[in-house]
């Protein structure tokens, strides 16, 4: 069967494997984690995996061996492996945009052959990586100088969505590996405050802007880039000739880059077969490469590659992205789970969940299948979360005792980073919190246990923890560039598998278009009071009120 061929694909809800899962869910009934662990001493061993540097424990899930058998049967029936292989081969599996989906080619080693329309794309990937490396080395060594001959001290990435979230996240994660004499900032919001705060204490003579945009037509990015150019030229008291030393571009669109006034000699290319949210290991990661250096960047790519190979070759029952995806499908369908929390127990992963929000929600927030037919099952969950232990003092209450089941990923590392010095002593406490939360969420506290502590009867329901709140624990020795690559690829492929099972196109993002068009139409109404034909009464009144506030 050709898995991405509509004619051959049965709708998910008509598959016997889908029905078999429903039957199984009914049999499982209210069986909880206490019972599952009590009756199965080998559970933690059996329901855990080592992949590269990652250890994944998925034993605290409401599943049995039979559940996993039926879930992997579903993956088989929905053609996940065939679609995966088609993706790796460079076929145009993004059918609504008629594009190949080849972020995996970004981490292919030199010499591997991956073709799009008969052209091997791997040499071009390495050419760009080499150019990036040369540029990064020059900036790091102080050899790239600005208009006045001074070395660069601050790199400001201007981009949004996939052209911001990935590099900004990774910059935080790999801070301990970063050149500390350089400062890195990220501007994404069209709110002028973002650029203002990013540059207010900077010396234009020592500032380099990387304008990152796949299309180079994104209004937020172009608006900020124009303003940054104005700031630079004003600050230097120079003309257009100063732009070259302070602006480089990352894009697929050389024409627009050159129209903007950036010399295409200072442009780093990527390709339409790299989706925005899958792009930070392309030239979109240029600021990161400047920060950590080419060698560390390549280590990160090797980490991605390791997970790609695992995903491509491991059997479903031992395939980490596949298992995480299947568990998500299980809860979405049979436990009415609408959300998924990602809770890193690492300060360096503070932007990780924000990054995953785009990766997951822009990919799988779809309501029609690849053929445009409405789906009759839930697709992508709301992905959210912030680092532990902060979340514990905010929203964990709802995770533990709320009415909704929210599966969560707990991510932690055994070794704190070297440069923390004496602060490394706090690490055991941090990790004890991670393990304790997984334990409390899974096993809760029964009314009997609460009573046994002498709690007054009227407080017993309040102090009872129902448990059976599933978590996956992802542990690694330390947070290296390679481990980051492994983690990101793990989630990329998880999202892929879920999209394949739900039958949706995970690689388009039509849902972001309408708001962009309407904003463009509304702007003159706000600025000049132009009438917008057919505007609804609520939006019209809001525009009027806004203009009054502005004294217009
Ligand atoms: O890199 P670009 O073309 O500026 O696009 C930025 C982002 O905008 C989006 O198209 C959605 O608004 C994302 O998919 C993309 O990552």
Task: Measure the CA–CA gap between 509 and 514, rounded to whole angstroms.
Answer: 11
Span from the CA of 79 to the centroid of ligand 1 (angstroms)? 29
Q: Nearest CA to 344 among 431, 468, 462, 453?
A: 431
Task: Measure the CA–CA gap between 263 and 316, rounded to whole angstroms.
Answer: 48
Instruction: Write out pLDDT tens, residues 157-213.
Output: 999 999 999 999 999 999 999 999 999 999 999 999 999 999 999 999 999 999 999
Phi (first) and psi of residue 201, to 5 degrees: -105, 15
- Our CA angle for 264, 117, 83, nearest 5°, is 115
Instruction: Write out pLDDT tens, residues 431-451.
Output: 999 999 999 999 999 999 999
Q: Average model confidence (pLDDT) for the chain?
A: 96
Among 218, 278, 287, residue to substitute to test ligand 1 (most atoms within 8 Å of Cβ): 218
The answer, yes or no, to whether residue 534 has pLDDT greater than 80, is yes
Span from the CA of 495 to the centroid of ligand 1 (angstroms)? 18
Enumerate residues 6+ apart whose C-beta is below 8 A from 26: none
The answer, yes or no, to whether residue 2 has pLDDT greater than 50, is no
Look at residue 68 in the predicted model and tell me its pLDDT. Answer: 98
Over range 2-26, report the average pLDDT.
82
Tell me whether strands 471-476 and 54-57 are parallel, antiparallel or unpaired.
Answer: antiparallel
Q: Count the alpha carbons within 13 Å of 300 in the hemisphere toward its beta carbon.
A: 27
Task: Measure the CA–CA gap between 103 and 506, rounded to whole angstroms.
Answer: 13
The answer, yes or no, to whether residue 144 has pLDDT greater than 90, is yes
Residue 516 is a catalytic residue: yes
Atom 14 (ligand 1): residue with closest C-alpha? 276
Place of tokens 């004003």: 234
Instruction: Write out pLDDT tens, residues 370-399.
Output: 999 999 999 999 999 999 899 999 999 999
The reply to whether ligand 1 has any atom less than 6 angstroms from the CB of 214 is yes
> Closest ligand 1 atom, CA of 162?
16
The answer, yes or no, to whether residue 3 has pLDDT greater than 60, is no
Phi (first) and psi of residue 3, to 5 degrees: -60, -25
Q: List the beta bridge partners of residue 116.
A: 119
The reply to whether ligand 1 has any atom less than 6 angstroms from the CB of 279 is no
387 neighbors 345 (Cβ within 8 angstroms): yes
Q: Nearest CA to 386 among 405, 409, 363, 367?
A: 409
Residue 362 is a catalytic residue: yes
List strand residue ranges (DSSP E) for 267-413, in order.
Answer: 267-269, 339-344, 382-384, 408-413
The answer, yes or no, to whether residue 6 has pLDDT greater than 70, is no
310 neighbors 51 (Cβ within 8 angstroms): yes
Residue 393 is a catalytic residue: yes
Segment holding 208, helix H or strand E = strand 207-212
pLDDT category of residue 10 using cuts at 50, 70 and 90:
confident
> Closest ligand 1 atom, CA of 218?
4
Look at residue 8 in the predicted model and tell me its pLDDT. Answer: 59
DSSP state of 242: G
Atom 8 (ligand 1): residue with closest C-alpha? 161
Look at residue 214 in the predicted model and tell me its pLDDT. Answer: 96
């Amino acid at each position: 069967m050709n898995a991405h061929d509509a004619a051959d694909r049965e709708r998910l809800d008509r598959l016997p494997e889908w029905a078999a899962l429903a039957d199984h869910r009914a049999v499982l009934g209210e069986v909880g984690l206490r019972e599952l662990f009590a009756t199965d001493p080998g559970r933690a061993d059996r329901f855990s995996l080592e992949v590269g540097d990652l250890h994944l424990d998925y034993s605290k899930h409401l599943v049995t061996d039979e559940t996993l058998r039926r879930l992997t049967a579903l993956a088989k029936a929905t053609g996940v492996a065939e679609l995966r292989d088609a993706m790796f081969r460079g076929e145009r599996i993004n059918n609504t945009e008629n594009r190949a989906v080849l972020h995996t080619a970004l981490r292919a080693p030199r010499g591997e052959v991956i073709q799009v329309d008969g052209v091997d794309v791997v040499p071009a990937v390495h050419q760009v990586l080499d150019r990036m490396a040369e540029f990064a080395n020059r900036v790091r060594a102080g050899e790239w100088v600005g208009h006045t001959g001074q070395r660069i001290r601050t790199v400001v990435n201007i981009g949004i969505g996939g052209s911001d979230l990935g590099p900004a996240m990774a910059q935080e994660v790999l801070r301990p590996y970063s050149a500390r004499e350089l400062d890195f900032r990220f501007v994404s919001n069209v709110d002028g405050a973002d650029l203002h705060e990013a540059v207010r204490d900077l010396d234009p003579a020592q500032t380099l802007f990387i304008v990152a945009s796949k299309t180079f037509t994104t209004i937020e990015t172009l608006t900020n880039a124009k303003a940054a150019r104005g700031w630079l030229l004003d600050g230097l008291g120079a003309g257009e000739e100063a732009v070259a030393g302070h602006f480089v571009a990352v894009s697929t669109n050389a024409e627009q880059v050159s129209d903007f006034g950036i010399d295409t000699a200072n442009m780093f290319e990527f390709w339409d077969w790299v989706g925005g949210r899958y792009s930070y290991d392309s030239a979109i990661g240029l600021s990161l490469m400047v920060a950590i250096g080419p060698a560390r960047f390549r280590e990160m790519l090797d980490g991605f590659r390791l997970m790609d190979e695992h995903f491509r070759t491991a059997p479903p029952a031992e395939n980490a992205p596949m298992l995480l995806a299947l568990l998500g499908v299980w809860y979405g369908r049979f436990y009415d789970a609408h959300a998924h929390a990602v809770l890193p127990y690492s300060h360096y992963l503070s932007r990780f969940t924000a990054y995953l929000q785009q990766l997951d929600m822009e990919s799988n927030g779809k309501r029609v299948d690849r053929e445009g037919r409405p789906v009759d099952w839930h697709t992508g969950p709301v992905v959210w979360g912030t680092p532990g232990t902060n979340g514990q003092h905010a929203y964990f209450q709802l995770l533990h005792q709320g009415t909704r089941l929210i599966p969560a990923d707990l991510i932690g590392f055994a070794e704190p980073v070297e440069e923390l010095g004496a602060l490394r002593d706090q690490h055991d406490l941090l990790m004890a919190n991670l393990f304790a939360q997984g334990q409390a969420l899974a096993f809760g506290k029964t009314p009997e246990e609460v009573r046994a502590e002498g709690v007054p009867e009227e407080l017993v329901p309040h102090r009872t923890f129902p448990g059976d709140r599933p978590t996956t624990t992802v542990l690694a020795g330390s947070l290296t560039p390679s481990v980051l690559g492994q983690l990101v690829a793990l989630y990329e492929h998880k999202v892929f598998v879920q999209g394949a099972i739900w039958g949706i196109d995970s690689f388009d993002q039509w849902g972001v278009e309408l708001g962009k068009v309407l904003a463009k139409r509304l702007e003159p109404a706000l600025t000049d009071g132009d009438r917008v034909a057919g505007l609804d009464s609520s939006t019209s009144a809001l525009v009027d009120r806004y203009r009054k506030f502005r004294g217009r």
